[in-house]
Structure 1
């Protein structure tokens, strides 16, 4: 039996930042992570703000929730800047994100999307081909224009995860590798793991795609779903790609690290092998993903892919889940909506504020898990 003030279930970006916030406030914190299929350890490091065409195409019913959450995404990008200044460097670069158009119909779609985003406070601008040439001369000749979102950027998740873990360790946060099977709430919260049992005054559920199953027994049906996705990284190359690159219709993200390596991803599917095995790479996704990258940035056609992998993304209803469970304030949810790595630190900070009795109601009200209690 392991007693603690605060138990955090999930040791990814949300769990680590929540632990840091609470430990700095003087709490005794234990983080329990299953150690497999964590989105943060497979993430490619994109800092998304503008609405992603992939998500809009696949989940049109969820677009209103994503659009309403755009101010949260803007604030999340700023939270990464604050985090980088405090604990970095995470190789944070914020020179904007480009969403590319290859014909006039795609450009018209981006213009309408940009107008909607600007109304929500996102810093966007439409660029024609001459304007693109000045900042991205490496693009293929078929690109006719793009939407530039100045809020967007990129970090190196490998560096960020390691640095944040070191901060948490220095603060005395305890980390356990275990799979939590169930929660029960009485005078304290009891979490039954495969290896140990944990008791805490409060629990933060930061288990991403596993959050729904974990709290189902407490009467709340949160529709968190694991979505296996594919990614690639190249050898170091001489290209100088400063922006996060996406496409108006096709699924892709493309960004370059300080090492010169380029990470290519953006929502291509991987082969699901269940919750307890890492997803397998789908050869068709590999070929489709890298060939699209080479079409958009022709010089990449001469660069070798040195590693390809798959990991779990989390989808819900297009919105984050932040705050105490209805009728059970001892259990606080901290699950980002789409683009979980981008939103992670801000969601963590907001969840920690709930634990500390200082919730920012203006930011979390629309993301309350109470919307699922019916």
Structure 2
């Protein structure tokens, strides 16, 4: 039966919402998670990259947001570690492998830019180093001759998101959490000291609420008088047939849109932010042929042996963009309403952001000062 009341309601059953719910349910709270059947979900479309180092393209495109990105760097290191802890806690392997990440350069100018970034990141506590062509030939012989060097980040890696998502969901249900799929929340309103969530199956009254709705967060908050500019960004992904071990790292590019990695079963996953589109009345994430061709062409340029493989699947998912930083903590002026939206590389941050949101709701220290990530910054900007 559809519940009508709950101690805590969480909007969004992506990796952030599931992990926040798991933390709270483990502590004995009554938790209900509502989800909109993943129409715009990033979690179910994610390819499992664990990003830590700053994205070179992001720095070039949004220099005004670099200070916020640098302030967030310790969270990325902790997030990668939290994934390893979570795998151990759940007792279920999800092919987590911290094999390191390579951000490759094709020109001396790009290499020098990465070197300056590397120096700054080292001072900020990351484990990064620059590698020349000879060193790359030794540890990453699969890279094409166009690559002249790379920045190596030891904390980066990959996992299988299908296995990880299932494991967290099972763990939540095992400790008594309630998951309501096909229950898209259309509107939230205050009801005394509690909140009313109007969703597809009716209305749920909750004492406290966590909004972990990704790109949908802004639309839920706007009627409450809080402007949080989250935007749905549809992106493109590919996966090839299985092959022998080929790509041993998470591979990115200093200037172009590409991410490459290989799953344990041998399939190579190719992504990196090529655009998709939102189509039809339901705004369904839809593949663009130009992105498919461009993404695969660039992948074959960086790792030439990929050109021999067959493509077995291509799909589009939704990324959430805002200002590159997390949105965390109690919503200003809205007591009992908490926000949990990860910053850039949201899947990497997911379990940690879920834990920090649960800690904020419980009024305890989650190990990081989340005040800089309050949604109050948008009021100040306005």
Superposed displacement of residue 359, structure 1: 3.5
Superposed displacement of residue 56, structure 1: 2.7
| Distance across 1 between alignment mates of 2:108 and 2:349 | 32
What are the ranges of 5 or more consecutive residues in structure 2 without an aligned counterpart? none
* Counterpart position of 1:203: 209
Pair 1:327 & 2:333 matched: yes
What are the ranges of 5 or more consecutive residues in structure 1 without an aligned counterpart? none
Q: Out of 181, 184, 196, which is 2:189 matched to?
A: 184
Pair 1:175 & 2:179 matched: yes
* Counterpart position of 2:53: 50
| Distance across 2 between alignment mates of 1:119 and 1:159 | 35
8 A Cα contact 2:243 2:266, kept in partner: yes
Superposed displacement of residue 372, structure 1: 2.0
Q: Out of 2, 12, 15, which is 2:14 matched to?
A: 12
* 1:115-134 pair list within 5 angstroms: 115-134=119-138
| Distance across 2 between alignment mates of 1:5 and 1:104 | 57
Q: Deviation per CA, 1:254-313, whole angstroms, max 9, x where unpaired?
A: 010101001100100001226833211111100110111111111101001100000100
* Counterpart position of 2:235: 229
| Distance across 2 between alignment mates of 1:260 and 1:144 | 26
Q: Deviation per CA, 1:148-184, whole angstroms, max 9, x where unpaired?
A: 0111110100110111111111111111121111111
Q: Deviation per CA, 1:70-96, whole angstroms, max 9, x where unpaired?
A: 111111111111111111311000011
TM-score, normalised with respect to structure 1: 0.97
| Distance across 2 between alignment mates of 1:252 and 1:282 | 16
- Kindly tell me the number of residue pairs found equivalent between the two proteins: 374
SS in structure 2 of the partner of residue 240 of structure 1: coil
Superposed displacement of residue 58, structure 1: 3.7
* Counterpart position of 2:29: 27
8 A Cα contact 1:9 1:207, kept in partner: yes
Superposed displacement of residue 347, structure 1: 0.4
Pair 1:278 & 2:273 matched: no
SS in structure 2 of the partner of residue 227 of structure 1: strand
Pair 1:78 & 2:84 matched: no
* Counterpart position of 1:269: 275
| Distance across 1 between alignment mates of 2:33 and 2:279 | 26
Which range is displaced more, 54-63 or 12-21? 54-63
SS in structure 1 of the partner of residue 68 of structure 2: helix
SS in structure 1 of the partner of residue 336 of structure 2: strand
CA RMSD of aligned residues (A): 1.4
8 A Cα contact 2:56 2:114, kept in partner: no
* Counterpart position of 1:292: 298
8 A Cα contact 2:99 2:154, kept in partner: yes
Q: Out of 63, 66, 78, which is 2:66 matched to?
A: 63
8 A Cα contact 2:53 2:73, kept in partner: yes
SS in structure 2 of the partner of residue 251 of structure 1: coil
8 A Cα contact 2:198 2:204, kept in partner: yes
* 1:335-374 pair list within 5 angstroms: 335-360=341-366, 362-374=368-380
Superposed displacement of residue 345, structure 1: 0.5
8 A Cα contact 2:235 2:274, kept in partner: yes
Which range is displaced more, 303-312 or 234-243? 234-243
| Distance across 2 between alignment mates of 1:218 and 1:275 | 25
8 A Cα contact 1:99 1:148, kept in partner: yes
